[in-house]
């Protein structure tokens, strides 16, 4: 990278992620060694935050094109990927604390945040609490209130994922077991196997299994019992966000988390909202079809550049 590492950051230049132009690094904070992949300095900073029980490689299909225009940081949230586990430390404030420190100590200039699901809720809190550090916000089908998660297929799904994580086993066995999980889908009388859903082929399930093996089970537990969101007030946070905000709404009939009612409320609360709906995509968004999501976020970020 040709630059000195900053603060207490630890270089992992010898251990590159799957994209050769990205370098793996850690930022040592009071709570965690926060792991992230950093791309080349090709533009303004863009920080990517993944969903629950996933990791920074969720954005692997987006990294090459995004890194051509922006200086990308793909983060493993606490308790996920290669970032440290924090027993009992999975409140929304904890996730946001780590990202805020990354912005202050590593990025050091206003950044755009793109968060998916849990990552979006984290990004929302960071943007509200650090308005001078965030110049654009993208919420990828994220819960906008703490109660959204409890309504739908996700409690069923994450209880099954938690059971697999606790049981352990080989990567291959977990991928096989993932395919056999049955979940409810809106409009269908019978539950559907994950392995029967479009896009959930063997390669995708293997990557998902890798993510699951790395996650701290407590991060899932605290989401399921709602303690993660005990300090999260989505409406209050949205009122404090000053920057342009893009909301990506997946189709609620395909498992999307953001209802039309929540979306309308968000546009009333946010200072500078933009909405993009994806009627053919479920909650996974870019994990399901990266190109339409890439086009939308690229157009948005290009439009707010320099504002």
> Given pLDDT bands bounded at 50, 70 and 90, which one contains residue 35?
very high
Question: What percentage of the chain has pLDDT greater than the value 70?
Answer: 91
Residue 15: what pLDDT? 38
In a domain, residue 193? The reply is yes
Q: Is the pLDDT of residue 1 over 50?
A: no
234, 284, 15, 263: which is closest to 121 by C-alpha?
234
How far is residue 7 from each of residues 1, 79, 102, 268, measured CA to CA in Å?
16, 22, 11, 40
Same structural domain, 17 and 119: yes
Question: 203, 221, 239: which is the final residue of a domain?
Answer: 221
Same structural domain, 87 and 195: no
Q: Are 93 and 231 spatial neighbours (Cβ–Cβ below 8 Å)?
A: yes
pTM: 0.92
Residue 151: what pLDDT? 66
266, 254, 264, 282: which is closest to 144 by C-alpha?
266
229, 37, 12, 238: which is closest to 125 by C-alpha?
238
Q: Is the pLDDT of residue 186 over 80?
A: no
Same structural domain, 81 and 120: yes
> Given pLDDT bands bounded at 50, 70 and 90, which one contains residue 103?
very high
In a domain, residue 3? The reply is no
Same structural domain, 108 and 248: yes
Q: Summarize pLDDT for 159-172 with one digit per residue, the tens.
A: 999 999 999 889 99
Q: Is the pLDDT of residue 142 over 80?
A: yes
Q: Are 287 and 207 spatial neighbours (Cβ–Cβ below 8 Å)?
A: no
Q: Summarize pLDDT for 212-229 with one digit per residue, the tens.
A: 999 999 999 999 999 999
Q: Is the pLDDT of residue 146 over 90?
A: no
The CATH number of the domain holding residue 244 is 3.40.50.1820
Q: Is the pLDDT of residue 6 over 60?
A: no
Same structural domain, 194 and 217: yes
Q: Summarize pLDDT for 197-217 with one digit per residue, the tens.
A: 877 888 889 999 999 999 999
Number of domains in the chain: 2
Q: What residues make up the domain containing 82?
A: 9-149+229-304
Same structural domain, 79 and 145: yes
Same structural domain, 86 and 48: yes
């Amino acid at each position: 990278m040709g630059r000195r590492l900053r603060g207490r950051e630890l270089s992992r230049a010898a251990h590159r992620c799957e994209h050769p132009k990205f370098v793996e690094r850690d930022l040592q904070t009071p709570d965690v060694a926060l792991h992230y992949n950093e791309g080349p300095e090709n533009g303004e900073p863009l920080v990517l935050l993944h969903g629950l029980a996933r990791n920074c490689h969720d954005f692997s299909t987006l990294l090459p094109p995004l890194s051509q225009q922006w200086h990308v940081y793909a983060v493993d949230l606490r308790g996920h990927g290669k970032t440290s586990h924090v027993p009992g430390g999975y409140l929304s404030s904890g996730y946001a604390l780590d990202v805020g420190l990354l912005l202050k100590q590593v990025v050091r200039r206003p950044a755009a945040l793109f968060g998916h699901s849990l990552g979006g809720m984290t990004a929302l809190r960071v943007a509200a609490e650090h308005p001078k550090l965030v110049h654009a916000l993208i919420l990828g089908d994220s819960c906008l209130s703490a109660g959204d998660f409890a309504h739908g297929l996700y409690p069923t799904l994450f209880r099954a994922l938690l059971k697999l994580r606790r049981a352990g086993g080989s990567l291959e066995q977990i991928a096989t077991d993932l395919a056999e999980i049955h979940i409810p889908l809106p409009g269908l009388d019978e539950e559907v196997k994950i392995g029967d859903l479009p896009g959930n082929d063997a390669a995708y399930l293997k990557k998902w299994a890798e993510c699951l093996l790395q996650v701290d089970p407590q991060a899932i537990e605290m989401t399921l019992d709602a303690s993660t969101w005990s300090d999260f007030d989505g409406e209050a946070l949205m009122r404090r966000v000053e920057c342009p905000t893009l909301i990506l709404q997946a189709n609620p009939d395909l498992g999307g988390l953001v209802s039309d009612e929540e979306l309308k409320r968000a546009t009333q609360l946010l200072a500078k909202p933009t909405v993009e709906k994806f009627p053919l995509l479920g909650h996974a968004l870019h994990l399901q079809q990266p190109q339409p999501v890439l086009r939308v976020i690229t157009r948005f970020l290009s439009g707010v550049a320099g504002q």
